[in-house]
């Protein structure tokens, strides 16, 4: 009985019909993973751009105002603009004398040294991917989100 099947199966060895369907079936999961990854990367980049815009928006008030000693009010503005919690926003202001950071923002530099005052807004947030990548998402936090940080600074003096 086995000898009767051999002549019937021999023509199938050279038949290439349907090979492209099999190749597509092998490549489709790889292609799907690539499309999912690219879409999530694009969305995380959009999140970063949104946070950077929020930081720049908060710093606009600094650029048009006068020098103050306390810029903590920027935390609320940046959090609202970035749609994040105020705890995710850090506002840092510092004084530099000839490029050396000083402890007191309101201090003065010795005569003849260059005075520079800066304000920086940093927003630490996260992006939760649409798809679960399991071990492929090595940078993910415990809650599954990918950390996204945006920062902007302005020299005010």
Residues 57-66, mean pLDDT to the nearest whole number? 83
Does the residue 6 lie in any domain?
Answer: no
Does the residue 1 lie in any domain?
Answer: no
Q: What is the pLDDT of residue 9?
A: 66
Q: What is the pLDDT of residue 87?
A: 93
Does the residue 4 lie in any domain?
Answer: no
Q: What is the pLDDT of residue 15?
A: 64
Does the residue 9 lie in any domain?
Answer: no
Does the residue 150 lie in any domain?
Answer: yes
* pLDDT single digits (tens) 19-53: 777 888 899 999 988 898 899 889 989 999 999 99
Q: Which domain holds residue 96?
A: 16-155
Total count of domains within the chain: 1
* pLDDT single digits (tens) 66-96: 667 788 889 999 999 999 999 999 999 999 9
Q: What is the CA radius of gyration of the chain?
A: 29
Does the residue 3 lie in any domain?
Answer: no
* Residues 59, 5: Cα–Cα separation, whole Å: 80
Does the residue 48 lie in any domain?
Answer: yes
- In this predicted structure, the answer to whether residue 1 has a pLDDT above a threshold of 60 is no
Kindly report the backbone phi and psi dihedral angles of residue 92, in degrees, each rounded to the nearest multiple of 5, phi listed first: -125, 130
Task: Name the residue with higher pLDDT: 125 or 5.
Answer: 125
Q: Which residues share a beta bridge with 121?
A: 91, 152
- In this predicted structure, the answer to whether residue 11 has a pLDDT above a threshold of 90 is no
Contacts 24+ apart (CB under 8 A), 114-117: 115/157, 116/155, 116/157, 117/67, 117/93, 117/155, 117/156, 117/157
* pLDDT single digits (tens) 106-154: 888 889 899 999 999 999 998 888 877 776 666 777 777 888 999 999 9
Residues 5-32, mean pLDDT to the nearest whole number? 77
Strands in the chain per DSSP E = 89-97, 100-102, 115-127, 146-155
């Amino acid at each position: 009985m086995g000898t009767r099947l051999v002549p019937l199966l021999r023509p199938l060895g050279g038949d290439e019909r349907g090979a492209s369907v099999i190749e597509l079936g092998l490549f489709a999961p790889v292609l799907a993973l690539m499309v999912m990854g690219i879409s999530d990367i694009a969305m995380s980049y959009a999140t970063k751009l949104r946070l950077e815009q929020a930081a720049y928006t908060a710093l606009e008030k600094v650029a048009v105002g006068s020098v103050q000693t306390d810029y903590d009010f920027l935390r609320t503005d940046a959090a609202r603009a970035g749609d994040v919690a105020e705890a995710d926003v850090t506002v840092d202001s510092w004084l530099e004398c000839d490029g050396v950071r000083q402890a007191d923002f309101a201090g003065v530099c010795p005569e003849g040294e260059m005075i520079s005052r800066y304000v920086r807004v940093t927003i630490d947030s996260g992006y939760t991917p649409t798809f679960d990548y399991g071990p492929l998402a090595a940078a993910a936090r415990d809650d599954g989100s990918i950390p996204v940080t945006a920062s902007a600074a302005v020299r005010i003096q």
